[in-house]
Chains A and B, each alone.
Chain A
Amino acid sequence: MTMRRAAWIALFWAALLGLVAFDYVGTRAQHDGFAEPPAWALGHEPSGRTGHCSSAPR
């Protein structure tokens, strides 16, 4: 792998993980640690507030 390609990989992941970190810092107060979804979600409806492509607007 060339240095240029390695730099592109590093830049992409720095931007992506930076966005995730920025999002986490700004929204972590909204995370309710006492309302964790069950580890085995099948039969308990979708876990937490997660969304899916096929979810119609409720």
Chain B
Amino acid sequence: MSPERRYDALVVGAGPAGLAAATTLARAGRSVAVFDEQPTPGGQVHRAVAAVPESRRALLGPDYARGREAVEAFLASGAHHIGQASVWSAAPGRVGVTVGGVAHLVEGDAVVLATGAYERPFPIPGWTLPGVLSGGGAQTLLKASGLVPEGRTVIAGSGPLVWLLAWQYLRCGLTVDAILDSTPAGNRWRAAPHLAGFLASPYPVKGLELLRAVRRSVRVVRGVSALEAVGEDRVSALRYRVGAGAWVEMGVDTLLLHQGVVPAIELAASAGIRQRWDRDQLCWHPEVDAMGRTPLAGLYLAGDGTGIAGAEAAALSGELAAHAILGTSEGGRVSGLLAQRARWLRGRRFLDLLYQPAPAFRVPAGETLACRCEEVTARALGEAAALGVPGPNQLKAFLRCGMGPCQGRLCGLTVTEALAHHSGRTPAQVGRYRARVPVKPLPLAALAAMPATDDERRAVER
């Protein structure tokens, strides 16, 4: 479906936040377009939820199936869903999007960026070998296509998704050979003060039963402090250490790596929204208030793209952003939503600290690739840092890290943290790559079709 020229509101992302925002706005009589990269609504967390067979939906669990209600409410709301759409620029009043190879500039009085999250990089030796996948990528294959790994399968890392993925595999009848838990042991003590908030939040009901079920059936190695994937053409084994212990080797056909997700901030950053470093989540958070308002009038942010809080909190923030756009008076429905969201956020802090990945898995060393696209090693980062480079943008100029097709999504955090490590500064002081338009690759012919004023043409034709 092609977009119209303008709408009352444009929403980028059809995950929980985007769907909630769009549904609320459409029900209030606003014309709404939702742009999303996937063919069907649901986002990463509820990917393809309305399209998958009932049997698979049941296997994936109640949290996944619950997404169907949100999708159905959205489809009935009158909002336009524009799938397989790649949004490459956003600004107040306007979104640049490619649909079916054709670029459009679509106008909207309000723009809501609900871009969600992607996985934190996990740069260990051998992480680019075939057979080594990200946990989130493996889950995508399971949700969208029902694909599961073959042969010996190990999940390594930390964070709720490690356990959820194992649980989903078990329900599909798959054997998970081991979970290598890289959560640092000391995290428990740092998280402990926030246990009360966690217990008072809706999280424990979700998590604890699942954790127990996985532990009953899968060998779990805790305290993994170092990890390598080994192989020639593809991964054939992995090596790990527990604490300062001896290296242990085990054969493996599929290694799934995951250490949490981080906000997808590129579109917001390219629109000019400032980012601040979050010391608990170890990633960038855009400048936004609880209602999703940004310093730019007409530009709103919602969901995990503003900080990781999970699907339920994302849906609440999407609805809140819609109310900010509609000008709903504070109190009543709005205060209720704010209070609910606050409960999720309080519970989140415990999880953030408990599952905070260890420095050794965030700052690579030696010949390990930091930037996969341009094949920049950790050693090269260190050598460039020794020249006294002030930050990631100079490093990018020197090494091309972050210049590849992923445009820095896969190495941005690694580069910031590595430079902080080498120069004895904090990530906040070091800064981050500037986000450049187009945020997603765009055919030159599509850019060539953009409208230009006479002044703009004269600035080039000479």
* A-B interaction: no
**Chain A interfacial positions (CB closer than 8 Å to B):** none
Which B residues form the contact surface with A (CB < 8 A)?
A: none
